[in-house]
Structure 1
Amino acid sequence: MSVHEELATVQRCLDDLNRAVNRLEQQMGGGLDIRRVRADCEHLRASAALLRETASGRLADRRQDQLVTISDTPYDVALWTDSDDEGLGARDRRAP
C-alpha cells in the first residue's frame, strides 16, 4: 500500500472511532472520561493531518531530488593538496 492509501485508512478508522465515541457519549452522558476520550480523538485527528502534510511535502521533495547531474570533468587537483592519503599518512612523512 502507498503512504496515501495508508493515511486514508487511518482517516477512515478515526472517523469510525469518532462515531463510536459519539454513540458512547449519548449512552453514558458527557462525563470526564468521555471528554478525555474525545480530546484524545481530536489529538489523533490533528496528528493524522500533520502526517498527511509531511507525506505530501516529502513526496514533492523526493520528486525534485530524483535527478542529480554529475559532471564528467575531473576534480581540481588543488582541492586535495592539504589532505592525507587515507591510511598512508602524510605525503612528506613515512607511515609508522
Structure 2
Amino acid sequence: MSLQDELTTVQRCLDELTRSVSRLEQEVDNSLELRRMRSDIEHLRESLALLRASSPDQPATQRPEMVSIPDAPYDSALWTDAEDEGLGAKDRRAP
C-alpha cells in the first residue's frame, strides 16, 4: 500500500471518528471529555494535513524550491550606495 493510500485511510478513519463523536454528543451532555475529543480530532487533522503536505509522493511543484546560497563573499560594488547607519562613527568605538 502506498503512502498516499495510507494517508487516505487515516483520513477516512478520522471522518468516521468525527461522526461517532457527533453521535455521542447527541446522547451525552456536552462534557469536558467530549470537547477534549473534538480538540484531539482537530489536532489529528492538522497533523495529517502537515504529513500529507510533506510526503515524498507530492509533486515537486507543490514543494518549495531549495535555493542555494554560495559561500563566496558578496561583490563589494553592491554596497557602494549604502550608508553606515547603525555602525557607529568611523573614528570612534562603540561604548
Tell me the TM-score range normalised by the shorter chain.
Answer: 0.5 to 0.7
2:25 is matched with 25
- In structure 2, stretches of 5+ residues that fail to align are 61-95
What is the rounded CA distance, in whole Å, between the counterparts of 1:9 and 1:44 in structure 2? 13
Question: What TM-score do you get using the length of structure 2 for normalisation?
Answer: 0.59
Q: Deviations over 1:18-43 (max 9, x none)?
A: 00000011110211110001100110
Aligned to 1:37: 37
Between the two proteins, the alignment pairs up a number of residues equal to 59
Unpaired runs of at least 5, structure 1: 62-96
More RCO (CA 8 Å, sep 6+): 2
Based on CA coordinates, which of the two structures has the bigger radius of gyration?
1
Identity of aligned residues (%): 54
In structure 2, the partner of 1:83 is: none
Runs of 4+ displaced beyond 6 Å:
none
The alpha-carbon deviation at position 10 of structure 1 amounts to 0.3
Q: What is the root-mean-square deviation in Å for CA atoms of aligned residues?
A: 1.1
